[in-house]
Amino acid sequence: MSWFRTVVIKSFTKHSCPSKFTSFPRTPFVSLMNFSSEPTHEAKKSSEIVQYSGLGPTRPNEKPRVVVLGSGWAGCRLMKGLDTDVYDVVCVSPRNHMVFTPLLASTCVGTLEFRSVAEPIGRIQPSISTAPGSYFFLANCKGIDTEEHVVHCETMTDGADNLPPWSFKISYDKLVIASGAEASTFGINGVKEHAIFLREVSHAQEIRRKLLLNLMLSDVPGISEEEKKRLLHCVVIGGGPTGVEFSGELSDFIIKDVHERYSHVKDYINVTLIEANEILSSFDVRLRQYAMRQLTKSGVRLVRGVVKDVQSHKIILDDGSEVPYGLLVWSTGVGPSPFIRSLEFPKSPGGRVGIDEWLRVPSVEDVFAIGDCGGFLESTGKQVLPALAQVAERQGKYLSGLLNRIGKDGRGRANSLGGIDLGDPFVYKHLGSMATVGRYKALVDLRQSQDTKGLALAGFASWFIWRSAYLTRVISWRNRFYVAVNWATTFVFGRDISRI
Amino acid sequence: MSWFRTVVIKSFTKHSCPSKFTSFPRTPFVSLMNFSSEPTHEAKKSSEIVQYSGLGPTRPNEKPRVVVLGSGWAGCRLMKGLDTDVYDVVCVSPRNHMVFTPLLASTCVGTLEFRSVAEPIGRIQPSISTAPGSYFFLANCKGIDTEEHVVHCETMTDGADNLPPWSFKISYDKLVIASGAEASTFGINGVKEHAIFLREVSHAQEIRRKLLLNLMLSDVPGISEEEKKRLLHCVVIGGGPTGVEFSGELSDFIIKDVHERYSHVKDYINVTLIEANEILSSFDVRLRQYAMRQLTKSGVRLVRGVVKDVQSHKIILDDGSEVPYGLLVWSTGVGPSPFIRSLEFPKSPGGRVGIDEWLRVPSVEDVFAIGDCGGFLESTGKQVLPALAQVAERQGKYLSGLLNRIGKDGRGRANSLGGIDLGDPFVYKHLGSMATVGRYKALVDLRQSQDTKGLALAGFASWFIWRSAYLTRVISWRNRFYVAVNWATTFVFGRDISRI
């Protein structure tokens, strides 16, 4: 046969790709954290990982390099704004996409599809996948050597069978820490094991799969009435916007889809929202009351309580009462991640990386921190800003402008900022808050702070504003199109219940 | 606060849902396989699983019950056609949706989205989620007691933390075995551990995640040239329509999307298709040659070889050559599943459940087998039909008509078929085969068999026929809409590369 040939793949022709990767000498280095410069035992065993290498310092004929840690609102907005004629951009993140978090709760029940709220970084900053000196590395940062202007990273190889993670380092001219925060558990036992957070697409996928599984299992013969009620009891901890929006979506799903498609078990499913203080505490008091009425009307039980312990089938509140659950979603705000805690920079109140008014880490050269992981130092006299997408995005935008100016001034290289005039400091102006509560109702609070007056709306008009506002904020045209299409098909055909 | 109340969830009000579930006495029963009627140790421990219960025999005031094992082409087409005024329908399957298999290969690279090819059973036969006597049970069938007209099942609780699977039984009036086949591995070592099949949505998801992971990892510093080539070597075993279509999709993805979005590593990625005999052996010889030319032009290496051993990073062919791979997709046809092998019915050549011309299992009463798990007994003088969606769908349609007639004759109950005239036997007429080969090209072979003459086309027109034909075959309007939308956005925006 003409097509038949034996290919011994080992003898692939060599590609003539000029490699930019430099191997570093394995000398000891000053690090801000305990970081082993030696490859791990597994990595050593594996002959494929040749050496502890990485991207060396930029040479005079190359553009200066901005290294961005993280791919959330702050990091992505920054990368979008960076002038790639001036800089090479290297992003280090354990995920290759940004999550459009305000719409994430809608994906848990299928109102929107997962991919409609995930934006690949290459779509936000195309240079990262095409420019010769710009890269995206699927990895976690493990340590920062500010003396040497180097970050130490380890690949994220989850899912790659038998491929041990390996370490590498990247020299930076400017470093932006935008690695976000992590969900708070307040040290409560069992939260990480049994509850699902709602911060990543994988969390939403897990919630959706579990909800559908419980709906199906509860219909199988041999299950007791009590167990059926437990399986179909969805408990949400935390009455912030995420918890409230998820509860609203869930009750929409129950009212419309469960009643139609799981009619055998529809009378067993319940949603309980547990909050220690006020729900939606940052909103105007009338909006809060409206939200409570709406949620209650949709069948969500609002319970005031403090969780003491989380077990595999039930949670224990501080008054001793036990709440059996089949699905437990945990959304009680965020705190500093282990990586941020490990950094020995001066911290802001609350343990974030301390920054000045220009978002710099003032104790070292060329390091900035934005988003949920950075907070104003007490010495600035400014309050730490809330962990909101709005804040992160504004900071990313501000810093991209600042870095572009610096780069165009010829100060893009490492250690060349001395004495520069950075211009206006970053000032945050709150544009307002929004939250849906289900059944085509939402809250829109346009006050700049809790003490000022301003427009505060609730109802269908607000819901329309909510949808329109977020639709225009979705980053790519592709996803904007898909969000609109998903909303339309959910309205016409209902939510998809395939458990895939 | 008005909304504040303590809810001790344990004291839920009792719902007055009349339960149809009967508990069976735990008497020994005659079974076709070793099946423990005792709950497992774990199930016993768990107080929630009250007893070994299930759906008892139908009573005179109830409709007769058709139990369908499986939710593939055969089972779903059958359920769609069953007259639910005549029968109650109970489906037992480990997945709650049907996969539109001809388009599954397209989802591995994002040409289509996963949910566009998954059809929830409730959308195919709405009664199953609403009628009081019809059910879908997420479970595997473990044994059939044809004497007692009972199937023994075990729930599929994967993903339900700490919830052990439990057993239950269902009495049937008519039983349809449509549980499909399983991928053949020919006893080759390591296939199940290291290769990914391409039969379920979860397989396509795994392929997509792994492909994107390998693309990203191969760009990280510290990886050797050899390892980079290995990671980006996609090997497909099996040159049937699935293997060829997947190879074509993969090369489309590489030519269009990898070159644009992973330009650092685009010269390292390769696709190899390994087949022991001819690719697309059921197609006209000119079409086969066309397919080979097209695939080669798209950069797919066609290798004739027999796999001897599969290891974690390489496969060994029978001539001793080693083929390193980063992604291994296995698509070499199907054979009887362990469940089918465990059934002690007379078998057809090839080990399927033996059936007569009316798709009955003739040795017992009221049992039928359709799709890939059933095959004509040698005594019928007919050949076992190929494992094709087309065959399965036609059999499902035929059997739904037959069962509806039987039911309307008042013979729907167990053991009431004696002496009935079943009418015309099932006759299969092949309508032809289609396969895409990538780059807007496809093959359409409308010959009824390999020896007859008929229309055989290849090229863009065939591709257009291929797309149009499958678009009309997609079962629901929702998915038809989404398939069209996915195709359009892939054309305009390219494929989505978020690794979620």
CA-based angle A405:A409:A411, to the nearest 5?
A: 100
The amino acid that residue B243 corresponds to is G
Distance to chain A for B446, nearest Cα, Å: 25
Answer yes or no: do B261 and A319 touch at CB < 8 A: no
Q: Which of B29, B337, B357, B30 is nearest to B177 (CA)?
A: B337
Of A419 and A485, more confident = A485
Q: Kindly give the pairing relationship between strand B367-369 and strand B174-177.
A: parallel
Mean pLDDT to the nearest integer, A421-438:
94
Q: Which of A269, A213, A215, A263 is nearest to B133 (CA)?
A: A263
- The DSSP result for B330-363, as a single string, is E---EE--HHHHH--S-B-TTSPEEE-TTSB-TT
Name which of A9, A15, A93 to mutate to probe chain B: the one with the most chain B Cβ atoms within 10 A of its Cβ. Answer: A9
Answer yes or no: do A261 and B120 touch at CB < 8 A: yes
Q: What Rg, from alpha-carbon coordinates, does chain A have?
A: 25
Residues from chain B contacting residue A132 (CB–CB below 8 Å): 264
For the record, the structure tokens of A315 come out as 């949670």
A68 to A87, A128, A166, A367, B306: CA distances (angstroms): 12, 11, 20, 10, 47
d(CA A484, CA A482): 5
Distance to chain B for A418, nearest Cα, Å: 31
Answer yes or no: do B221 and A170 touch at CB < 8 A: yes
Burial (0-12, 13-18, 19+ Cβ within 10 Å), B441: buried
B488 touches chain A (CB under 8 A): no
Mean pLDDT to the nearest integer, B293-310:
97
d(CA A192, CA A221): 31
Answer yes or no: do B225 and A51 touch at CB < 8 A: no
Coil, helix or strand for B328? Answer: strand
- Cβ-Cβ contacts under 8 Å between A and B: the total is 283
Q: Which residue is listed with tokens 């075990």?
A: B154
Answer yes or no: do B96 and A292 touch at CB < 8 A: no
Residues 6+ apart with CB under 8 A from A105: A198, A204, A242, A245, A246, A249
Answer yes or no: do B135 and A264 touch at CB < 8 A: yes
Q: Are residues A307 and A329 in the same domain?
A: yes
Give this complex's ipTM.
0.89
Coil, helix or strand for B55? Answer: strand
Distance to chain A for B426, nearest Cα, Å: 32
Domain that holds residue B134: 18-181+336-408
Length of chain B: 500
Do A326 and A232 contact (CB within 8 A), yes or no? yes
Query: Which one of B272, B478, B485 has the shortest CB-CB distance to A493?
Result: B478
Determine, yes or no, domain membership for A4: no
- Give percent of chain B above pLDDT 90: 85
Do A196 and A205 contact (CB within 8 A), yes or no? no
For the record, the structure tokens of B118 come out as 């998954």
Answer yes or no: do A268 and B115 touch at CB < 8 A: no
Query: Which one of A6, A50, A115 has the shortest CB-CB distance to B496?
Result: A115
Do A439 and A425 contact (CB within 8 A), yes or no? no
B95 touches chain A (CB under 8 A): yes
Read off the pLDDT of residues B460-493 as tens digits, 9 standing for 90 and up. 999 999 999 999 999 999 999 999 999 999 999 9
Coil, helix or strand for B411? Answer: coil
| pLDDT on residue B467 | 95
Residue A8 has pLDDT above 90, yes or no: no
Read off the pLDDT of residues A290-299 as tens digits, 9 standing for 90 and up. 999 999 999 9
Determine, yes or no, domain membership for B420: no
Provide the 8-state DSSP code for A257.
I
Q: Are residues B49 and B175 in the same domain?
A: yes
For residue B313, give the chain A residue with the closest CA: A162
Q: How many helices (H) and strands (E) does chain A have?
A: 15, 25
Residue A1 pLDDT level (bands cut at 50, 70, 90): very low
Read off the pLDDT of residues A240-252 as tens digits, 9 standing for 90 and up. 999 999 999 999 9
Q: Which of A76, A91, A66, A79 is nearest to A171 (CA)?
A: A66
d(CA A352, CA B288): 63
Read off the pLDDT of residues B351-365 as tens digits, 9 standing for 90 and up. 999 999 999 999 999
Q: Which of B415, B400, B238, B230 is nearest to B332 (CA)?
A: B238
Strands (E), A24-116: 53-55, 65-69, 88-93, 97-99
Query: Which one of B222, B322, B478 has the shortest CB-CB distance to A54?
Result: B222
Residue A32 pLDDT level (bands cut at 50, 70, 90): very low
Answer yes or no: do B263 and A129 touch at CB < 8 A: yes
Distance to chain B for A214, nearest Cα, Å: 8
For the record, the structure tokens of A385 come out as 């800003």
| Chain mean pLDDT for chain A | 89
Q: Which of B99, B103, B101 is nearest to B436 (CA)?
A: B103
Residues 6+ apart with CB under 8 A from A207: A108, A196, A198, A327, A329
Residue B52 pLDDT level (bands cut at 50, 70, 90): low
Do A167 and A142 contact (CB within 8 A), yes or no? yes
Q: Which residues of A189-200 are buried (b: 16+ CB within 10 A; e: fewer)?
A: ebbeebbbbbbb
For residue B156, give the chain A residue with the closest CA: A217
Do B442 and B458 contact (CB within 8 A), yes or no? yes
Do B367 and B144 contact (CB within 8 A), yes or no? yes
d(CA B36, CA B46): 18
CB atoms within 10 A of CB B467: 18
Answer yes or no: do B301 and A7 touch at CB < 8 A: yes
d(CA B203, CA B246): 12
Distance to chain A for B23, nearest Cα, Å: 8
A94 touches chain B (CB under 8 A): no
d(CA A289, CA A302): 12
For the record, the structure tokens of B385 come out as 């039909």
Mean pLDDT to the nearest integer, B117-128:
96
Determine, yes or no, domain membership for A11: no
Answer yes or no: do B260 and A130 touch at CB < 8 A: yes
Our CA dihedral for A458, A460, A464, A467, rounded to 10 degrees, sits at 80
- Give percent of chain A above pLDDT 90: 85
Q: Are residues A221 and A311 in the same domain?
A: yes
Q: Are residues A82 and A129 in the same domain?
A: yes
Residue A12 has pLDDT above 60, yes or no: no
| pLDDT on residue A49 | 45
- Give percent of chain B above pLDDT 70: 89
Do A54 and A145 contact (CB within 8 A), yes or no? no
Q: Are residues A211 and A106 in the same domain?
A: no
Read off the pLDDT of residues A121-148 as tens digits, 9 standing for 90 and up. 999 999 999 999 999 999 999 999 999 9
Provide the 8-state DSSP code for A282.
T
Residues from chain A contacting residue B220 (CB–CB below 8 Å): 137-139, 155, 166, 168
Q: At what angle do helices A389-408 and A73-81 cross, to 10 degrees?
A: 30
Q: Are residues A113 and A79 in the same domain?
A: yes
Query: Which one of A3, A137, A155 has the shortest CB-CB distance to B296?
Result: A3
Determine, yes or no, domain membership for A426: no
Query: H-helix or E-strand containing A127?
Result: helix A127-130
Interface of A with B in 198-227 (CB under 8 A): 201-202, 205, 209-210, 212-214, 216-217, 219-227
Distance to chain A for B38, nearest Cα, Å: 13
Interface of A with B in 233-252 (CB under 8 A): 233
Residues from chain B contacting residue A52 (CB–CB below 8 Å): 222
Interface of B with A in 149-168 (CB under 8 A): 155, 157-163, 166-168
Q: Dihedrals φ, ψ of B437, to 5°?
A: -125, 15
Q: Kindly give the pairing relationship between strand B270-275 and strand B233-237.
A: parallel
Q: Kindly tell me the sign of the dihedral angle through the C-alpha atoms of A302, A303, A308, A309.
A: negative
Q: How many helices (H) and strands (E) does chain B have?
A: 15, 25
Answer yes or no: do B168 and A219 touch at CB < 8 A: no
Provide the 8-state DSSP code for A35.
-
d(CA B315, CA A48): 17
Domain boundary among A355, A375, A408: A408
Residue B330 has pLDDT above 90, yes or no: yes
d(CA B493, CA A122): 12
Residues from chain B contacting residue A290 (CB–CB below 8 Å): none
A330 to A81, A193, A234, A252, B32: CA distances (angstroms): 33, 11, 11, 19, 47
Q: Are residues A175 and A29 in the same domain?
A: yes
Q: Are residues A382 and A308 in the same domain?
A: no
Residue B275 has pLDDT above 80, yes or no: yes
Domain boundary among B408, B423, B448: B408
d(CA B134, CA B57): 14
d(CA B107, CA B116): 9
For the record, the structure tokens of B228 come out as 């980079």
Residue B159 has pLDDT above 70, yes or no: no
Answer yes or no: do A168 and B137 touch at CB < 8 A: no
Determine, yes or no, domain membership for A30: yes
Q: At what angle do helices B241-253 and B285-297 cross, to 10 degrees?
A: 30
Determine, yes or no, domain membership for B354: yes
d(CA A100, CA A107): 11
Task: Check which CATH number belongs to the domain holding B280 and give it.
Answer: 3.50.50.100
Answer yes or no: do B50 and A223 touch at CB < 8 A: yes
The amino acid that residue B100 corresponds to is F
A320 touches chain B (CB under 8 A): no
| pLDDT on residue B161 | 66
A469 touches chain B (CB under 8 A): no
| pLDDT on residue A245 | 97
Q: Are residues B451 and B340 in the same domain?
A: no
Interface of B with A in 12-41 (CB under 8 A): 12, 14-15, 17, 21
Residue A34 has pLDDT above 50, yes or no: no
| pLDDT on residue A163 | 81
Query: Which one of B170, B194, B321 has the shortest CB-CB distance to A161?
Result: B194
Distance to chain B for A191, nearest Cα, Å: 14
Query: Which one of B55, B157, B163 has the shortest CB-CB distance to A221?
Result: B55
Q: Are residues A234 and A127 in the same domain?
A: no
Burial (0-12, 13-18, 19+ Cβ within 10 Å), B128: buried
The amino acid that residue A380 corresponds to is T
Q: Are residues A127 and A202 in the same domain?
A: no
What is the longest distance spanned by two Cα atoms in chain B?
A: 82
Do B67 and B170 contact (CB within 8 A), yes or no? yes
Give the strand order in the sheet containing B322-324. Answer: B307-310, B314-317, B322-324
Q: Are residues A328 and A349 in the same domain?
A: no
- Least reliable range by pLDDT among A171-185, A407-421, A446-460, B327-341: A446-460
CB atoms within 10 A of CB B336: 22
Residues from chain B contacting residue A482 (CB–CB below 8 Å): 489
Name which of A220, A229, A314 to mutate to probe chain B: the one with the most chain B Cβ atoms within 10 A of its Cβ. Answer: A220
Length of chain A: 500
Q: Which of B205, B240, B176 is nearest to B369 (CA)?
A: B176
Interface of A with B in 380-439 (CB under 8 A): none
For residue A327, give the chain B residue with the closest CA: B160
d(CA A15, CA B266): 11
Residues 6+ apart with CB under 8 A from B472: B480
Q: Dihedrals φ, ψ of A271, to 5°?
A: -120, 130
Distance to chain A for B424, nearest Cα, Å: 36
Distance to chain B for A96, nearest Cα, Å: 6
Structural domains of chain B, count: 2
Determine, yes or no, domain membership for A418: no
Residue B22 pLDDT level (bands cut at 50, 70, 90): very low
d(CA A126, CA A475): 13
Determine, yes or no, domain membership for A68: yes
Of A15 and A302, more confident = A302
Residues from chain A contacting residue B223 (CB–CB below 8 Å): 48-50, 166
